[in-house]
Structure formats: C-alpha cells, structure tokens
Structure 1
Amino acid sequence: MINMPMRAVSDAFHDAWRLRWPFLLSRLVFGLLVLLLLAPVTSVALRGAIALSGKPALSDFDIAMFLFSPVGFAALLLVGALVLTSYVLNVAFMMAIALHARRNGERRFEEGVANILPRFRAILGFAVRLILRIVGIVLPFVAIAALIAGKYLSEYDINYYLSERPPEFLQAVGAIGAVLAVMLVLLFRALLSWAFALPLVLFESVRPGESFALSSAEMKGRRLDLLLAVLAWGVISALAVSIVFGIASVAANLVVDAVAPDLKALAAALLIILAAWSLVNLLVTATTTGALACLLMERAGWPGTEGVRPSGRESRTLLRSVLLGGAAVAAVLAALGAANLFTFKTEDAVEVIAHRGAAGARPENTMAAFALAIEDKADWIELDVQESAEGAVIVVHDSDFMKLAGNPLKAWDATAAELAEIDIGSWFASDYAGERTPLLSDVLELTRGTESGVLIELKYYGHDEMLEQRVADVVEAAGMEDRVQLMSLKYEAVQKMKALRPDWTVGLLASATVGRPWELEADFLAMNMGLVSHSLVRSTQAAGKRVHVWTVNDPLAMSEMLSLGVDGLITDEPALARQVIAQRAELRTLERIVLALGSRLGLVTSDKEYRDGSP
C-alpha cells in the first residue's frame, strides 16, 4: 500500500520537473500578481501608520510590528487571503498545464491559461469558499489559544516568559499546544477530504459550492492513501527547500568574512544572495507546487475535460502577447510599489556609550581608555566606581585586582599608596604599564570641556559605606552635575540616589527582566543585549524612559539594536559604533532589515574576543 503512494509521488515530481519551465512561469506570474497588489497597499498602510503614530518616522521594527496592531492584523488577514487565492489559482493553472501536456504532449503555459480562463470565476468562488472554510476551522481554536495566553502570559513582558519559563508559561504552552494540535488534525483531515474539489471545479464543471461535498464523498476510504502521498511530498519538498537555504546560509557567512565591516557592501552582498536564493527557491517551489498539482490530479484519476476549451493558434498567440505584456506591466508596477515601500529612511537618534572607556583598544577603566573614548566622539564614558579604604571614589569594576594585575587586594581595603603600586595596564599591553586606578574626580576633569559626559555605575560588593553621597559630593565639587548620569544593578541604590539627588538622571541596569521594568523608579534602563526586544523598547519609551543596551561590539549586532530603536549603545568599540551609525545613514530600510535579519540568523562580522562583556 505504501509503494503506491510513493510511486505516485515519484511520478508527480518527475512530471513537475519535466514541466518546470511552464510551472515556473505560472509561479512567477502569480508571484508578480501578489506583489503588484500588496506592495502599493502595504506602502499606503505604512504611511498611514506613520501619520497615526504622530512620529516623523518609524523605526525598522516599528514597520514590522505594525502588522500586529489591530489595523495591521486585519491587513495581514487580507494579505493571507490574497496569497492563498493566488496559490489556488497557481495550482489550478498547473493542473491545466499538466493535463494538456498529458493529452497533447505540449508544455505550454498559455495552454493552461486558455483552458482555465473560462472557469476563472468559478475558481475565484472556490478560493473564497476554501478560505472561509479554513477560517471557520482555525478561528475558534486561535481564539481559545489567545484567551489562554491572555490569562496566563499577560502579566509580564513576553521576554520574561521566554527566558525564565516559569510554571505558568509551561502550562500555557502545553494548553495552547494541545489546542493547536487538535486544530491541525481537524484542518488537515478537512483538507484531505477536499483534495479533489479543485479538479472537480476545473475539469468536471462542478459548482464551487458543491465541490467540497462531492470531494469528501469521493475521498471516503482513500484518505490514508492520500495522507501517505502528501506526507512523502511534504518531506521531499521541505528537504529541497532546506538544501537551498543551507547553501545560501553558507554563502552569507563567506560574504560576511569577505566584506565586513562595510555595512553598505555587506547589505548589497546579502541582497544579492537573497535575490539569488529567491530565484532558485522560486524554481524549487514551482517544482514542488507543480508536483502537488500533478499528485492531486493523479489521485483524482486525471478527470475529464468537460469545461476545458482548447484554443486555436491565433488565440494562443494573442494570449501569449497579452500575458507577456501583462507580466511586464506587473513587474514594473510591482517594482515601483516595492521601491516606494522600501524608500523609508529612519534616523538613528542614538548615543554612543564607551564601555569602561574604549576598552576594545585600551585597558578598561584607565585614563588611556577614557582619553581614546573622547577622541572617538563617545557621547558618554561609562565607568564603575567603588569606595577605597580611605573613602575615596575610585574607578574599578571588580571586587579585587586579580583580573587586572593578579593582585588579590580588595577594592575597599585598598589605600592610595597601594593603588599607586598596582599596574592595571600591562595585562593589555606593555605600553600601558604606567596605568593606575583613576579617581572619579580625575575622569571628570579629563572630560571637562569635551563633548563626552560620564555615565557612572555604582558597584556594590557588600562593603559600601556611603557611596551614593560620596559620588554626589565628587560630582558637585567638580561642578559637573549636568555632565553625569548614574546607574546601578541594585534597584535600592537607584532609589537612594534619586532620593539624594531627585533632579539627576539615574538608571537601572538589568541582566534579566521580570515583570515590567519600565514601571520601576528609574530614568532609563540599561539592558543586556540578549533581552532587548522591540516590544520592550516600545513599552519603555512609551513610559518616557530611554533604553541603553550592553555590551554591543559587532557591527551587525549594533545595526540590529539600532533597528530595534534603542537610545544608547554601550560598547567597547565607540569608534566602530560611530562608523556603523554613519554607514546606516546611507542605507535604506530594506538594507537595514536585511542586516538585522542577518544578525538574527547568527551572522557576525567580527571574531574579536573581549575579556569581559559584563556591565
């Protein structure tokens, strides 16, 4: 019994490959048709979204997330209906092409069109009914899944649930999975029952409204046979698509190594790879879709030709001319619509924050690193402060000096004399052997009169005495109140600092998110790059707070974070960040989205290793 479906699948792919060029033309025509309809509509919708948002522009991910707004979701449903209708028409044309080739040995796309046109209205009616039936099955289950998600997964940001996976998340996932599994079983069973409906409409002149019941009647006792055949077809199709995608992924990685960190060249190269992949994938999907059309026709017994009207030579010539002309017009209009869609340019209003100075090029938290950060036009120099044994505010990240100098001395036990003996630069390079632990006052004086402010992170290891007050005293003694901001991983410290100096800007560092961090008493959030999502950025900014992200050192990752709309990049490479921002200013939205997609897929443009990526 298994051999028969497998033989049918093998024959279907053989026929599809033999008819690949007319099938490809059919796939291309309907692809252009969809693009022709969707590109202008989407462009108008996006411009409407900008108008409704009250903003002069939307970020790259605002554009993507628009689809999940009520209006965008309705548009998405319409798009889905149009795509499904196009798919039905495509399969119908392929069925007609295959039938004509089987009867006359001619492999002509126009013959399929000529045979289908008299039934075009019926095909559209069939497509509408198919969509309504699918929606009727899917919608109740999706509504139940949404209710479950709303009940169990709405209290906190979705990234908390995805990263921490609390019990309620696992319960909700299990319940939603069960609901959707039942939906898929019912949907697949229905689609199997309706497998012969389209051939009946096309070649037996059956009315669309009656075709589903007739198909179900003919499928009795044959579902398992068709199920095995469709599963085999699906496995082969998925394998073919995966191979093409794998080759494209390898090519993308090779390109990254060759052209990085030139983002414009990288975007162009990735677009070329994307275009090449799209063309090859078009041929592959045309063949797999054609194989499905042939398979369904074979399982239906290659139904008769009632309702199919053969065309004469003159009509074929006229039809060919009309098709070619229409395809050319569609291509031009689709290209114009797509060009309009992707001419959006978003401005990157982002600050560059030098992590412990320019720590990628000089030893961290040293005057040398801070001086280079100023040269690199960093908006802010981020540094870490603790109290010494004598109550001085010193710049040091760790609790001791083991990492920097192999010295176990604790920061809170260190005296000025001891600090003067500890070399914190030689671990990086011998040129920096003279670097010593700076005072906060030294760094403030270094930045005086420059365009770089100082972002002070308050570090706590359980031995602080009055760190917040001492930092405030140092800043005020330097008269630099308007050139500093503060932050800490410790929320109580943020609250204490705000209580001491209510007018100062104080933010919260977060290496994990629980709940709604934007509702906390902080002026900004500094988030781990792995936690940042578009929804988190939007929610935080909607609450009137800024979002900084750490520690971002790869150009592609920087570009992705900028596309998410973050307000600050905390990086060891401030000069590189400036370069990325400048390059992105020349990129269009399409190029930026391609780069963000590459970053999401795991592409990196730098293999440089950093000693410490913590805040």
Structure 2
Amino acid sequence: MTHPFFDGTLRPRVFAHRGLVTAEGGASGVWENTAAAFASAHAAGVEYVETDSHVSADGDTVLIHDSDLARLNGDRRAVSEIRTRELRAVFADHGGLLTVPEALDAFPDLRFNIDVKADAAAVAVGEAVAQHADRVLLTSFSDARRRRALAAALEAGAPHRPATSAGARTVAALMAITRTGLSPARLLRDVDALQIPERQGLLRVLTPALIRAARRHDVEIHVWTVNDAEEMTRIIGAGADGIVSDRADVALRVLRPV
C-alpha cells in the first residue's frame, strides 16, 4: 500500500530541488530553499518540493541546505549559532526565509520532501510536521536521524508516520543484498522511497536489481539530481518513478508533455 504522500499526484514524480530558481530569479538574487523559490516551483505546476532543514540558535526549523551561510553570502558561522531574526534579515532580499511550519502553511497545495540535515533538527522537524503527515516525506543521509524525526512526529500526535526514504546505510545494504538474490523485505520495511543518485563515483546505484526489489515491495525510486532533458527521459525509461531536479520546469515539459 502506498503512502498518502503519493496519493492523487501524477507520474513520473517531479521534485523541485530546493524549489525552483529560474534564470530570471537567479539574476534578481533569489536563493534556493526560499519562499520565492517555492512559489516559482508551485507556479510551474510542481506537486513536490525537496528542501532541507537545520535549526537556528532559537531552535527554529529553518529551511537551509548547508550548515553555514558561506556558499550563500560568505558567512562561515554555523546556522545553529545565528538567531532566526538575523537569518530573516539575511534572506529578506533573496526570496525570504521560511521555517518548516511556515512553508507548510504558506503552500498548502505542495507536498514537502524534507531532508533533516542536522541531529539537532530531527526532533524539532518531526514535531513541526506532525499534523501534515499526509504531505510530508522525511529523509536524511543518516537513518538514525530520520528515524528520530519520524518518532518525534508520532509522539507529537501525527495520525500516522510521515512518508520516508532510506538513508545511506540502508541503500548500501540494499545494493549488497540485491546482488545476492536474497530478500530485501526487512530493509524495505517502513520505507516508502529510495532517493538515490544514478551513480556514486564509479559505482552504479540505479541498477535493474534494485529497481526490481523496489517494485516488489511497493517502494518508489527517485533519482537525484537530474537537470538534463535527455537524462530525465532515459532515467524514467530505465524504471525510476521520479526525479529530483534543479530544473523542475524543464522536467515537467519533458516528462509530462501536453
């Protein structure tokens, strides 16, 4: 049985990676993971937005990818050391900072794929999404971190757990076990998606064996980060259920032609 996160939406899935920053938006100073980037994705017709969460010095679940702001504006302080009001001031001219609750409230028609980027964010993010379990997928490279977030959502009153995708160790174990022909049922228990790169260095991650195993257990495969139109078509043709893309507008045009 599929999770409600996937109910009533179109295939192949298109996830707007950190929202959508068009060439025009980038030229005007819009940053990823901002209100403006999410609004652009929504306007393009996207149903799913992929985003990332850290916690500020105030404990707020702010939507920022990196652990500091060095890549964005040269500030090397950890996000966890910066007050929320200061982060809002920094983001004010670049699309607007959002917390997890603010994003869920501001974009009620979007479904959010939230990558919990820091151990300190796990419980706070889980609590923040508890009443939105139908339209949230929680993930992390750390399986332990994503499980803490899922548990926190249930403890905060979620009617059922949010959707979730496997962490790095689970994906590595799946790749090993699918090569042996053994059943991956235990590893895929309570996992709704595998969100993976097509390759990790020289290692192919998206393999026919992994696709077959996912199919048998009603687990979706979403491949990141795919920005080239031909690659989008090829990867979906290979059996992936969706892609995560910086160019969600292109993906919608290519994968769902009118």
Q: TM-score if structure 1 supplies the norm length?
A: 0.34
Q: Paired residue for 1:396, among 53, 64, 79?
A: 64
Instruction: Name the % identity.
Output: 27
- Which SS does the other structure have where 2:196 is aligned? strand
Shift of residue 480, structure 1, vs aligned partner: 2.4
Query: What corresponds to 1:369 in structure 2?
Result: 37
Q: Paired residue for 1:565, among 239, 245, 257?
A: 239
Query: What corresponds to 1:255 in structure 2?
Result: none
- The answer to whether the 8 A contact 1:405-1:423 is kept is no
Q: Paired residue for 2:98, among 434, 438, 449?
A: 438
Inter-partner Cα distance in structure 2 for 1:456 and 1:386? 10
Query: What corresponds to 2:222 in structure 1?
Result: 548
- The answer to whether the 8 A contact 1:507-1:524 is kept is yes
Consecutive unaligned residues of structure 2, counting only runs of 5 or more, are 1-9, 26-30, 155-159, 176-183, 200-204
Instruction: Give the counterpart letter for 1:378 in structure 2.
Output: V
Query: What corresponds to 2:85 in structure 1?
Result: 417
Q: How many aligned positions are there?
A: 221
Shift of residue 453, structure 1, vs aligned partner: 0.8
Inter-partner Cα distance in structure 1 for 2:148 and 2:85? 31
Shift of residue 507, structure 1, vs aligned partner: 1.0
- The answer on 1:475 being equivalent to 2:129 is yes
- Which SS does the other structure have where 2:165 is aligned? strand
Inter-partner Cα distance in structure 1 for 2:101 and 2:145? 21
Shift of residue 439, structure 1, vs aligned partner: 1.3
Q: Paired residue for 1:534, among 186, 208, 218?
A: 208
- The answer to whether the 8 A contact 1:508-1:524 is kept is yes
More strand per residue: 2
Q: Deviations over 1:426-456 (max 9, x none)?
A: xxxxxxx3434321122112211x2x21111
- The answer on 1:574 being equivalent to 2:242 is no
Cα RMSD over matched residues? 2.4
Instruction: Give the counterpart letter for 2:71 in structure 1.
Output: K
Instruction: Give the counterpart letter for 1:568 in structure 2.
Output: G
Instruction: Give the counterpart letter for 1:579 in structure 2.
Output: R
Matches within 5 A, 1:281-320: none
Q: Deviations over 1:251-296 (max 9, x none)?
A: xxxxxxxxxxxxxxxxxxxxxxxxxxxxxxxxxxxxxxxxxxxxxx
Matches within 5 A, 1:239-278: none
Matches within 5 A, 1:371-386: 371-386=39-54
More helix per residue: 1
Q: Deviations over 1:447-483 (max 9, x none)?
A: 11x2x211111002xxx43x2332232223xx42222
Inter-partner Cα distance in structure 2 for 1:513 and 1:470? 25
Q: 1:544 to 1:434 in 2, by over 3 A?
A: closer
Inter-partner Cα distance in structure 2 for 1:471 and 1:495? 12
Inter-partner Cα distance in structure 1 for 2:170 and 2:129? 30
- Which SS does the other structure have where 2:234 is aligned? helix
- Which SS does the other structure have where 2:71 is aligned? helix
Shift of residue 382, structure 1, vs aligned partner: 0.7
- The answer to whether the 8 A contact 2:18-2:51 is kept is yes
- The answer to whether the 8 A contact 1:550-1:569 is kept is yes
Matches within 5 A, 1:139-178: none
Inter-partner Cα distance in structure 1 for 2:161 and 2:195? 19
Q: 1:513 to 1:524 in 2, by over 3 A?
A: closer
Inter-partner Cα distance in structure 1 for 2:106 and 2:97? 14
Query: What corresponds to 2:147 in structure 1?
Result: 495
Q: 1:434 to 1:581 in 2, by over 3 A?
A: closer
Q: Deviations over 1:311-370 (max 9, x none)?
A: xxxxxxxxxxxxxxxxxxxxxxxxxxxxxxxxxxxxx93111100001454421111110
Instruction: Give the counterpart letter for 1:475 in structure 2.
Output: V
Structure of higher RCO (CA pairs closer than 8 Å, 6+ residues apart): 2
Shift of residue 403, structure 1, vs aligned partner: 0.4
Q: 1:528 to 1:484 in 2, by over 3 A?
A: same
- The answer to whether the 8 A contact 2:143-2:166 is kept is yes
- Which SS does the other structure have where 1:485 is aligned? strand
Instruction: Give the counterpart letter for 1:482 in structure 2.
Output: D
Shift of residue 515, structure 1, vs aligned partner: 3.2
Inter-partner Cα distance in structure 2 for 1:560 and 1:535? 17
Q: Deviations over 1:168-188 (max 9, x none)?
A: xxxxxxxxxxxxxxxxxxxxx
